[in-house]
Every structure is written in structure tokens, then in C-alpha cells.
């Protein structure tokens, strides 16, 4: 038999033993098995789950009433933060856009020539039109 068949039979046997060893209740038992090929991977997991009969999962009850949770030493409750109501201010104005001519001075700019070499070229000054937003009340 090859190793894959050996692994499958061995895994099935382990699952059968685990199911016989743990009392079978669907809400309290979970079993997992993982088998790999080539890399020698094998995983097995058992979770008996539950802490006894409870009326609601995750909560302890005593005679139908929830038990108080005890806090560790030095426990402080989370602070209560009261934020002031938001202040709404209605704007009393509007945005106005205007165009302005701006002179840009000449400067040296790094460029690449026709042969792929880096060189510096003089770029002369020029006028540029910019849009400016202003708040007007």
C-alpha cells in the first residue's frame, strides 16, 4: 500500500477512537482532522466545549438569574464621556473665484537630449494665469 492509503486508514482509525472516547453530543463536541500529501502534514483537533448545562450560552445563571461578574483587583469602570452638543454655524458668505496673471521667472530645467543624455536647458520667464478662490462675506 502506498503512503496515502496508510495515512487515510490511520486518520480514520484515530477519528473512530476519538468519537468512541468522547460522549457524543452535537452541542458539546467537535473533532477535526487534517492530512497532507508529500510534505508530511498531519493535524488533529478535539474540542469538548461547554462548561455544563447552561440556559444561555456564554452566561452563568444561578436559579434563573444571571450571576454578577467579579472584576479583578484595581478594576476601574470605563469613563463616562459627555460631549457638548455640536455648534452649528450657518455660513454668512460665499466663495468667489478670480483669475490672476502671475509672472514666472526663467529657470534652468534638467532635460534629456536626442542622444539620451541629461542636460540643462534655460526656460525663459512667462506669464501664467492662476485661479484663486476667495471667501467673501
7 vs 67, more confident: 7
- The predicted model gives 56-80 an average pLDDT of 64
C-alpha span between 55 and 49 (Å, rounded): 15
- What per-residue confidence (pLDDT) applies to 38? 64
Query: pLDDT tens across 7-62, in order?
Result: 878 878 887 776 676 555 555 556 666 766 666 666 666 666 655 554 555 555 55
**Of 86 and 37, more confident:** 86
Average pLDDT, the chain: 77
| pLDDT surpasses 80 at 100 | yes
In terms of pLDDT, which residue wins out, 97 or 50?
Answer: 97
Say how far apart CA 124 and CA 107 lie, in whole Å. Answer: 7
Which of the two residues, 92 and 52, has the higher pLDDT score? 92
Provide the strand spans (E) within 18-137: 30-35, 42-47, 61-62, 65-66, 94-104, 107-112, 118-123, 126-136
User: For residue 35, what pLDDT is reported?
Assistant: 66
Amino acid at each position: 500500500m502506498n503512503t496515502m492509503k496508510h495515512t487515510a486508514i490511520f486518520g480514520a482509525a484515530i477519528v473512530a477512537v476519538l468519537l468512541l472516547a468522547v460522549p457524543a453530543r452535537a452541542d458539546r463536541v467537535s473533532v477535526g482532522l487534517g492530512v497532507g500529501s508529500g510534505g508530511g502534514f498531519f493535524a488533529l483537533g478535539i474540542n469538548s466545549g461547554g462548561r455544563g448545562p447552561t440556559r444561555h450560552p456564554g452566561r452563568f445563571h444561578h436559579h434563573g438569574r444571571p450571576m454578577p461578574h467579579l472584576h479583578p483587583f484595581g478594576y476601574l469602570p470605563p469613563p463616562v464621556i459627555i460631549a457638548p452638543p455640536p455648534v452649528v454655524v450657518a455660513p454668512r458668505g460665499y466663495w468667489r473665484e478670480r483669475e490672476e496673471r502671475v509672472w514666472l521667472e526663467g529657470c534652468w530645467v534638467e532635460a534629456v537630449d536626442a542622444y539620451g543624455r541629461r542636460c540643462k536647458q534655460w526656460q525663459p520667464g512667462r506669464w501664467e494665469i492662476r485661479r484663486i478662490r476667495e471667501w467673501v462675506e
